[in-house]
């Protein structure tokens, strides 16, 4: 074939809004997502003493600390719900969100060598991380279910209701929020590494602006109460608590607001992530 007759059959370039968000390409490479998921799950407990036992111990240790600090010392009420049940319900959801957000935020740094050697849809990595974290979350959630049933058999008045059926929706919302924000953070910290420290502190403070260690009803100041509802995680946590034991606050408006904000953040995060693919290998 002469040089004049040569032509390219495939062109690899970053995705833009004009070309779409790259979701079709991501779907076509779904087998890669499965391979990444298996890798992430294996690495998480490889060469550890207790293996997957850490997944059960982590929420229990955190629960006991919250009981001592916030329950005994600070005396913060828990809407007449047993403290272990109340704290675990928030710990499980928040730790899943926090773990996903942290992992997705380091996508470029963690996969720099891989991204520089072979091409595949870059979104495969953060998406697989979010899904693989479900394995750990399911184990931690089983701890909550065990403690929940233990108190239920002891005769404690816990009133689950049909709002608990929204649980899968809440998990998807958490995943999308962590993915959207994580992609935004990853795109911004690729060039400015010190920003990762700021976002680390921000996430830590964010937990205290979410009704994890206290019920939303504990915030009696009307202005502060409204401000807390702007936090998209507030409606998610409160909906789960309301469905699990009938305590807390539930509002379709608040949940719909959270869903809308999450969708916007997800699209912005994907757009920023795709745009950053042009330059990350030069700045990482």
User: Cα–chain-centroid distance for residue 128?
Assistant: 12
In angstroms, the Cα distances linking 62 to 88, 91, 182, 212, 228 are 9, 8, 24, 12, 23
Q: What is the DSSP letter of 239?
A: H
What average pLDDT does this structure show over 49-59? 71
Is the pLDDT assigned to residue 157 strictly greater than 70? yes
Burial 68-80 (b: 16+ CB within 10 A, else e): eebbeeeebebbe
Strand, coil or helix: what is 111? coil
What average pLDDT does this structure show over 34-38? 80
pLDDT band of residue 186 (cuts 50, 70, 90) is confident
pTM (two decimals): 0.85
Q: Give the C-alpha separation, 210 to 208, whole Å.
A: 5
Q: Give the C-alpha separation, 194 to 239, whole Å.
A: 35
Burial 164-195 (b: 16+ CB within 10 A, else e): eebeeebbebbbbbbbbbbbbbbbbbbeeeee
User: Cα–chain-centroid distance for residue 168?
Assistant: 14
Taking only the tens place, the pLDDT of each residue in 97-141 is 999 998 888 877 776 666 666 666 778 888 888 998 898 899 889
Percent of the chain clearing pLDDT 70 (strictly above): 80
What average pLDDT does this structure show over 246-256? 90
Is the pLDDT assigned to residue 22 strictly greater than 50? yes
Q: Give the C-alpha separation, 162 to 79, whole Å.
A: 20
Query: What is the pLDDT at residue 54?
Result: 72
Q: What is the DSSP letter of 76?
A: -
Least confident stretch, 198-212, 224-238, 266-280: 266-280
Query: What is the pLDDT at residue 40?
Result: 76
Taking only the tens place, the pLDDT of each residue in 187-198 is 887 777 767 777
Taking only the tens place, the pLDDT of each residue in 130-141 is 998 898 899 889
Is the pLDDT assigned to residue 61 strictly greater than 50? yes
Query: What is the pLDDT at residue 34?
Result: 82
């Amino acid at each position: 074939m002469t040089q004049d007759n040569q032509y390219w059959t495939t062109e690899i370039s970053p995705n833009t809004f004009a070309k779409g968000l790259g979701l079709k390409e991501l779907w076509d490479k779904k087998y890669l997502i499965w391979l990444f998921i298996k890798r992430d799950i294996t690495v998480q407990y490889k060469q550890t003493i207790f293996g997957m036992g850490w997944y059960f111990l982590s929420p229990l240790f955190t629960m006991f600390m919250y009981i001592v600090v916030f329950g005994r010392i600070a005396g913060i009420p828990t809407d007449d719900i047993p403290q272990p049940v109340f704290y675990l319900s928030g710990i499980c959801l928040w730790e899943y969100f926090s773990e996903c957000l942290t992992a997705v935020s380091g996508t470029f740094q963690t996969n720099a060598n891989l991204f520089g050697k072979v091409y595949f849809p870059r979104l495969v990595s953060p998406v697989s991380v979010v899904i693989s974290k479900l394995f750990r979350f399911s184990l931690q959630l089983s701890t909550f279910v065990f403690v929940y049933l233990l108190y239920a058999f002891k005769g404690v008045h816990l009133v689950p209701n049909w709002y608990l059926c929204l649980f899968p929706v809440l998990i998807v919302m958490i995943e999308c929020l962590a993915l959207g924000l994580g992609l935004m953070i990853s795109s911004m910290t690729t060039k400015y590494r010190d920003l990762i420290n700021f976002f680390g502190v921000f996430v830590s403070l964010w937990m205290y602006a979410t009704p994890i260690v206290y019920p939303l009803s504990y915030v009696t100041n009307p202005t502060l109460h409204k401000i807390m509802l702007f936090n998209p995680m507030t409606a998610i946590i409160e909906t789960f608590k309301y469905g699990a034991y009938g305590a807390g606050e539930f509002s379709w408006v608040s949940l719909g607001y959270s869903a809308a904000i999450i969708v916007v953040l997800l699209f912005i995060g994907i757009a920023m992530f795709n745009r950053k693919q042009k330059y990350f290998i030069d700045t990482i």
